[in-house]
């Protein structure tokens, strides 16, 4: 069914006049008549009848009018919705993050963005860096924020450094190491080590930087959750190395203590990742730009 034919039919049905419909549509009256005739021929039924000098909708015309009105109402709603999506008035996107970024960085940024753009919804998925990378590559996420990895980067993945994260050694204030100001990486790894599972950026970076020193990570306990690691360390079950972002509240409350570690580089990058062929939605692009801008501002404040 021709959409233009329906629009002409709608105008005639509302005005019950070919001439008024022509004026409303800014076309000639003969064109209106032809369009209505073509629609009737397509449907195989008459839509109007003329009695005297007036035209009226037939029964079929009345039924078609009710459907046509719904069609154009939905078309208007669709157009308004597209406009809202373009103008960031509504919509949702799915983004991903590794544990550090997902729990300790992105929530505040997401909240700020949603406050500025009420009506939008950000769906945040949190897994280890390897899983987030796969979800981005399979287009299940618009983009992700993950820790630096030692794995070979797939050709289809774009990586953009976003911020720097510092890994720190943590112990319970009651642990024997808590009184020491500094400790070598060799001394630390002789302790009971509570650490993330394989596949996490933290674990991968630690192993990659310890191995050239002839050191190996021997985990006494492994967790897939940083919060569980912190609780285990608080309970004096061992020591750990985690992101500095993850322990701000524990340092304030005094439930954990940080020890400086010498002999190893414990800084890593937090990277923004997305598929190189990804066509971002307007909302996705806006949120991506907001994340970049916000983290840049945070980095400048930290440097100052």
- Fold of the 3-86 domain: Arc Repressor Mutant, subunit A (1.10.10)
pLDDT at 298: 79
> Tens digits of per-residue pLDDT, 37-91?
999 999 999 999 999 889 999 999 999 999 999 988 887 777 766 665 666 667 7
- By the 10 Å C-beta count (0-12 exposed, 13-18 middle, 19+ buried), 144 is classed as buried
| CATH 1.10.10.10 domain locations along the chain | 3-86
Residue among 152, 154, 202, 163 at smallest CA distance from 293: 163
Where does 94-270 sit in CATH, by number?
Answer: 3.40.190.290
**Other C-beta atoms lying within 10 Å of the C-beta of residue 142:** 23
Give the per-residue pLDDT at 83. Answer: 62
Half-sphere exposure in the Cβ direction for 278 (13 Å, CA): 25
Residues of the chain with CATH 3.40.190.290: 94-270
Tell me the whole-structure pTM to 2 decimals.
0.67
Mean pLDDT on 12-38 = 92
Rg of the chain, C-alpha, whole Å: 32
**How much is the pLDDT for 270?**
92
Q: From its phi and psi, is residue 119 left (phi > 0), alpha (psi between -120 and 50) or beta?
A: left
């Amino acid at each position: 069914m021709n959409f233009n034919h329906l629009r002409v039919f709608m105008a005639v049905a509302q005005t019950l006049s070919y001439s008024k419909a022509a004026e409303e549509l800014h076309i000639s009256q003969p064109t209106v008549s032809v369009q209505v005739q073509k629609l009737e021929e397509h449907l195989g039924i008459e839509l109007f009848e003329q009695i005297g000098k007036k035209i009226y909708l037939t029964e079929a015309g009345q039924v078609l009018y009710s459907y046509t009105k719904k069609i154009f109402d939905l078309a208007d709603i669709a157009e308004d919705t597209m406009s809202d999506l373009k103008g960031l008035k509504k919509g949702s996107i799915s983004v991903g993050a590794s544990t550090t970024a997902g729990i300790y960085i992105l929530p505040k940024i997401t909240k700020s963005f949603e406050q500025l753009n009420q009506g939008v919804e950000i769906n945040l998925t949190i897994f280890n860096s390897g899983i987030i990378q796969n979800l981005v590559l399979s287009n299940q996420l618009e983009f992700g924020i993950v820790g630096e990895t030692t794995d070979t980067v797939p050709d289809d993945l774009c990586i953009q450094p976003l911020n720097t994260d510092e890994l720190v050694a943590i112990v319970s204030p009651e642990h024997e190491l808590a009184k020491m100001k500094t400790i070598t990486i060799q001394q630390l790894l002789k302790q009971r080590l509570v650490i993330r599972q394989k596949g996490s950026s933290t674990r991968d970076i630690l192993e990659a930087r310890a191995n050239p020193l002839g050191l190996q990570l021997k985990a006494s306990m492994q967790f897939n959750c940083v919060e569980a690691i912190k609780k285990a360390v608080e309970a004096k079950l061992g020591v750990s190395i985690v992101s500095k972002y993850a322990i701000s509240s524990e340092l304030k409350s005094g439930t954990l203590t940080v020890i400086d570690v010498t002999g190893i580089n414990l800084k890593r990058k937090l990277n923004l990742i997305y598929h190189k062929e990804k066509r971002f939605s307007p909302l996705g692009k806006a949120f991506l730009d907001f994340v970049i801008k916000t983290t840049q501002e945070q980095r400048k404040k930290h440097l100052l």
